[in-house]
Amino acid sequence: MTGPVVRLLVADDHPVVRAGLRAVLEGEPDLRVVAEAATAEEAVARAAAGDVDVVLMDLRFGGGMTGAEATAAIGARPGAPRVLVVTTYDTDADVLPAIEAGATGYLLKDAPPGELAAAVRTAADGRAALAPAVADRLMHRLRAPGAALTPRETEVLSLVAAGLSNQDVGRRLHLTEGTVKSHLARVYAKLGVASRTAAVAAAADLGYIRRR
């Protein structure tokens, strides 16, 4: 393949993953990894240098800023590189914040090498590059918007799934206990359930929250 070389920044907190991505990508004549970052904060700082076209961004790091937060921070700068999320997580709780933060693409780490390289080129061109499972999930959300949980409802239910009481959820999210109950009531109605346990199970099955 001829044409300009796409310059890449690989952001992941696992050295083995970074090395694996570098090995796969640098086997392509038009792709070159120019930098790596072990934290989301490092990725934001390095992406601002102006010599990166696409950032391959994990979603979860050991601590501090998340991949979605880093994606938003990178995209806030003029002339920012594209961000292609490369992660193992494909639930709505992971996908939607990343897309809303401005990610150009979303790929899973088990994607074949050819699919990864193609997604990088697609993202570099400014076009959406989505893993099939992620695309299916987004299409489902568009086709059945009435059943979709809002980001706040997902946040509330995720904390309920972690074992927090309504009062604890309210304190964590700076909401009144009554507001938490209202969010849960809407969740129950959307999911067609009548209890916290059933709501958590149904939401996990649908991919709205992560299984614990």
Say what the pLDDT of residue 1 is. 45
The reply to whether CATH 3.40.50.2300 applies to domain 6-141 is yes
Say what the pLDDT of residue 191 is. 83
Residue 56 · residue 120 · CB < 8 Å: yes
Which ranges in the chain are annotated with CATH 1.10.10.10? 146-206
Range among 22-31, 96-105, 125-134 rated most confident: 22-31
Token representation of residue 82: 């594209």
Q: What CA dihedral angle connects 170, 173, 174 and 179, to 10 degrees? A: -50
pLDDT in tens, 191-205: 888 888 988 988 887
Q: What is the pTM of this model?
A: 0.69
Range name among 25-29, 39-43, 69-73, 98-102 with the lowest pLDDT average: 98-102
Stated as kind and residue range, the H or E segment containing 6 is strand 6-11
Mean pLDDT of 34-62: 94
CA separation, residue 93 to residues 3, 20, 154 (Å): 37, 26, 7
pLDDT for residue 99 is more than 90: no
pLDDT in tens, 1-26: 456 899 999 999 999 999 999 999 99
Query: Nearest-CA neighbor of 47 among 15, 82, 22, 16?
Result: 82
| Region 146-206: CATH code | 1.10.10.10
Which ranges in the chain are annotated with CATH 3.40.50.2300? 6-141
Where residue 142 falls among pLDDT bands split at 50, 70, 90? low
What single string gives the DSSP state of each residue in 61-107? Answer: -SSSS-HHHHHHHHHTSTTPPEEEEEES--SHHHHHHHHHTT-SEEE
